[in-house]
Structure 1
Amino acid sequence: MNNTTDTTPEALRASMVDTIKQAGHARIAAVEQALREVPRHRFVPEATVEDAYANIAVITKRADDGTALSCATVPTVVAMQLDQLDIQPGHRILEIGAGTGYNAALVATLAGPSGHVTTVDIDPEVAAQARQALDETGHREVRVITRDGSLGAAEHAPYDRIIVTVSAFDIPPSWRDQLAPNGRLIVPLRWRGQSRSIAFVRDGDVLGSDSVRLCGFVPMIGQDNELSGTIDAGGLVTLYWDSDQDITLAALDGVLSQPKTPAWSTITVGGSESFDGVWLRMTGTQPGTCRIAADKAAVTDDLCTPATPSRSPALVEHDSLAYLTYRRVDGGAELGAIGHGPTGERLAQRLCDEIRAWGNARTTEPVITAYPADTPNDQIGADHVITKRWSRLVVAV
């Protein structure tokens, strides 16, 4: 491992790659080599060189309200997606979300002189800055197009690989149609309040996953069908759900003021062990799965105490809900649920059933299949289908 205190870009880049490797990414030798070669600091010139090589997202453009509009993604996540993408020399590749141009430079390095890389961004300013950085770092061969990313770039299709570097709520038909048979689409997809970087492989009109990883990205502009609203008088607790779900905010008004009904799963987690797999599993089995977020005051006042206050899974059914929580036990934490409302106790028990199912198979990765939106139920053959505008998802656990 590189323990140097040298602050030159070269030394900091070597340290960045060490961090990425320690996190279990850059498993492909070519990905590691590309990360060691491409100078990330030259794509984020307004950041310090230390921040350029830290394991953080570098925000490069914000909205007037402070919301991040564009950034250089966290290096460990960049490497994770490149492992999922599995680029081979000569591949034709489409990137949705040009960002700083850094990821396109890495992709171009992996595709080699015989490869072809096109990157698309809806923001002219972002696209222009990416173009400039790519030119200045010797990646003039990368095509930069200013366009709505949901349209793709049919003029250079088909693509062996498509990588999406913004959080998408759905899979536009253009991405599937412009992907070559057996090609790979890597997309940070959002559903039921959570997001995963999914590696899909095309089989006809169907996309099937072979890799699903936890992630977080800046949302794609103009492609959000997530709804939200507060469920308490003080506006401290917010629920987030998808437009296809049978959830009505008015039915939940004041539900948190009703008695709590806790339930405990006997499943424990220790230290930094992630339990996000519970949420992923729930999306495939529980139609009412959504996200709950509680402000600090709500937690302090014991109004709502989710396991992770800013983002925890919840189950909603008509006028009742339950959400994931935990309590400290020797050696870690026991996962459980807190229910509210007429059927809150039953919902809490159902959530605990999901926790136990996950706890008995923690490393099992669900398979996610994306069908075109017009695919009839009898061709899907699943009990629970997540319906979006352009696709229908099945999460098989």
Structure 2
Amino acid sequence: MNATTSSDTAEALRNRMVDQIKDAGGIQSSAVEDAMRTVHRDAFLPAATLEEAYADQAVTIKPNPAGGLALSCASQPTIVALMLDQLDVKPGDRILEIGAGTGYNAALLTHLAGPDGQVTTVDIDSDVTTHARKALDATGNEHVHVATRDGALGDPDHAPYDKAIVAVGAWDIPAAWWDQLPPGSRLVVPLRWRGTTRSIAFTRETDRMVSSDVQLCGFVPMLGQDGERDATITADGTVNLYWDIDQPIDPADLHGVLDQPKAEAWSGTTVGGYEPFDGVWLRLSATEAGTCRIEALPAAVESGLCKPAIPSRSPALAEGNSLAYFVTRRQESEEGSPAQFELGAVGHGPAGGDLAERLCEQIRAWGRTRTARPTITVYPAGTPGDQLAIGYAIDKHDSRMVISLT
């Protein structure tokens, strides 16, 4: 294949990728669309084929030698577009990116900010920053500042910033970010709590950050933020729980709970086959202190021991030596009619039935206002309780987070 044909193919694949994301409602602004049509993703993924570079999927750039989640990857283009829309970059903006990845996102940010803007991207991994620096230089983005440093520290040398975007899953809002983002600035961050991750667009006010958009997403966790715990609750390790350090959950109390009789509860709330129901998890995290994540490996699902709605990540409620988790069941329907699923819960342990009913209460509440999203407000750690917004408060190391239902 000659260079001209290769270039034509890359452009065609790039435009097709953008068209597909746009047609699915994944690009909202013309500026983001133009950036994604202009910046060559394949130039930042030299080990990938053109087809891989322009598929709507994440691409691993640094595998984890120990297995499990990759140490670094190029985010799925749909998620890239979503977060850039949330960030709302304007020409001339000074932007901080946490998590350099391949350098592709920094190039998109540079395109959006224009010649009068400035982009700084940081990553704790020198292998990642070396790759990003090389790719940015090769694509005419030599003026992007690339720094090898702990993302939790930001980059004070180039602060303050008008916008900041985080390309790793953050459990907390570090104090340094508060210092480098003045009132009126915007932060887009995949924030983790209660086993779930949401890309949140925050606007910095004087003493708080307030969300304007909350979207489901998934990211590699940020290194160094010790706020989450996980443990198995079965002898064979096929069912695991994930929770936060502020929660009074002791996995020893729950070990073997799934061997106890189960109690089913059904909400009467149904969804279509492709209708999202992730809002249930948001409501639970704003109302139930024991909200966490359950993961059932294939062996547990196939044996019938534990069958959450989404085996790899479903919400659950843990309280003492009892547990309930989110499930679905298919409803009977006429032939040719769209599939419908009822949402419910399965509980185990002395209070399992009560927990399952409480989970169903929140399913029903979500079912009445399915498109509503809570407001997330974050304050610096130490903010007195009487200065917090009305809602459910979660304390982290450097911040206090309040979830307010609308």
TM-score per shorter chain, which class?
over 0.9
For residues 316-331 of structure 1, the aligned pairs below 5 Å read 316-329=318-331, 330=333, 331=339
- Structure 1 residues 302, 204: CA separation in 2 closer, same or farther (over 3 Å shift)? same
In the TM superposition, 1:373-388 aligns within 5 A as 373-380=381-388, 382=390, 384-388=392-396
Which residue does 1:14 correspond to in 2?
A: 15
Report the counterpart of residue 88 of structure 1 in structure 2: 90
Paired amino acid for 2:26: H
Aligned 8 A contact 2:83 2:188 in 1 = yes
Whether contact under 8 Å (2:42, 2:53) holds in the other structure is yes
CA contact (8 A) 1:7 1:50 kept: no
**Match 1:339 to one of 329, 343, 347:** 347
2:40 equivalent in structure 1 = 39
- Alignment partners' CA distance in 2, 1:381 and 1:215: 25
Give matches, 1:356-375, under 5 Å: 356-375=364-383
1:197 partner SS = strand
Match in the other structure for 1:3 = none
Q: Report % sequence identity.
A: 60
Correspondence for 2:119 among 117, 120, 123: 117
SS at match of 2:362: helix
CA distance in 1, matches of 2:154, 2:394: 24
Amino acid at match of 2:187: L
For the residues of structure 2 that align with 1:224 and 1:186, how far apart are their CA atoms? 21
Give the C-alpha shift of residue 220 in structure 1: 1.1
Secondary structure of 1:227's aligned partner: strand
Question: 2:58 aligned with 1:57, yes or no?
Answer: yes
Deviation at 1:392, TM superposition (A): 1.0
Is 1:25 aligned with 2:33? no
1: CA distance, partners of 2:218 / 2:256? 31
Deviations 1:349-371 (A, max 9, x none): 00000000111111001100111
Per the TM alignment, residue 120 of structure 1 is displaced from its structure 2 partner at its CA by 0.4
How do 1:94-109 residues align onto structure 2 when only pairs under 5 Å count? 94-109=96-111
* TM-score, with structure 1 as normaliser: 0.97
2:147 pairs with one of 145, 156, 178: 145
State the Cα deviation string for residues 322-348 of structure 1 (Å, max 9, x = none). Answer: 000011103310000001111111100
Aligned length, in residue pairs: 392
Alpha-carbon offset, residue 141 of structure 1: 1.1
* Contact 1:176–1:205, Cα closer than 8 Å, also in 2: no
- 1:271 equivalenced with 2:273 (yes/no): yes
My pick for the range that moved more, 86-95 or 18-27, is 18-27
> Which residue identity lines up with residue 350 of structure 1 in the other structure?
R
Please state if 1:310 is matched with 2:318: no
Q: Which moved more, 1:214-223 or 1:127-136?
A: 214-223
Please name the residue that 2:207 is paired with: 205
* Residues 218-367 of structure 1 aligned to structure 2 (within 5 Å): 218-329=220-331, 330=333, 331-367=339-375
Contact 2:249–2:319 (8 Å) recurs in 1: yes
**Matches of 2:115 and 2:180 in 1, distance apart?**
22
| Greater Cα offset, 377-386 or 243-252 | 377-386
Give the Å deviation of 1:233: 2.1
In structure 2, how many angstroms separate the alpha carbons of the residues matched to 1:276 and 1:383?
A: 19
Asked whether the 8 Å contact 1:42–1:133 carries over to 2, the reply is yes
Conserved? CA contact 1:225–1:243, under 8 Å:
yes
Give the C-alpha shift of residue 382 in structure 1: 3.8
Which secondary structure state, in structure 2, belongs to the residue aligned with residue 159 of structure 1? coil
Tell me the secondary structure at the aligned position of residue 114 of structure 1. coil
The range that moved more, 225-234 or 254-263, is: 225-234
Distance 1:42 1:110 in 2: 18
Q: Hey, what's the Cα distance between the residues in 2 that align with 1:53 and 1:205? A: 42
Q: Which moved more, 1:171-180 or 1:31-40?
A: 171-180
- Give the Cα–Cα distance (whole angstroms) in 2 for the partners of residues 233 and 95 of structure 1: 42
CA distance in structure 2 between the partners assigned to 1:124 and 1:236 by the alignment: 35
Alpha-carbon offset, residue 180 of structure 1: 2.3
CA-based RMSD of the aligned residues comes to: 1.2
Cα distance in 2 between the residues matched to 1:187 and 1:393: 14
SS at match of 1:30: helix
Counterpart-to-counterpart distance in 2, 1:391 and 1:19: 38
1:99 maps to a residue whose letter is: G
Cα distance, 1:320 vs structure 2:
0.6
Give secondary structure in 2 for the equivalent of 1:18. helix
2:94/2:162 contact within 8 Å kept: yes
Please give the alpha-carbon distance, in whole angstroms, between the structure 2 residues aligned to 1:340 and 1:274: 26
| Greater shift in the superposed pair: 102-111 or 266-275 | 266-275
CA distance in 1, matches of 2:360, 2:8: 49
The aligned amino acid for 1:354 is: Q
Instruction: Note if contact 1:261-1:338 (Cα within 8 Å) is conserved in structure 2.
Output: yes
Contact 2:392 2:404 in 1 (8 A): no
Is 1:167–2:169 an aligned residue pair? yes
Q: 1:306 to 1:393 in 2, by over 3 A?
A: same
Q: Distance in 1 between matches of 2:173 and 2:389?
A: 20
Look up the equivalent residue of 1:149 and give its one-letter code.
Answer: G
SS of residue paired to 1:385: strand
Task: State the Cα distance separating 1:385 from its structure 2 match.
Answer: 1.1
Q: Matches of 1:281 and 1:102 in 2, distance apart? A: 35
Contact 1:23/1:76 (CA < 8 Å) preserved in 2? no
Q: CA-to-partner distance for each residue in 1:86-117, whole Å, 9 max, x for gaps?
A: 00000000000000000000000000000011
- Partner SS state of residue 239, structure 1: strand
Contact 1:368 1:396 in 2 (8 A): yes
The one-letter code matched in structure 1 to 2:92 is G
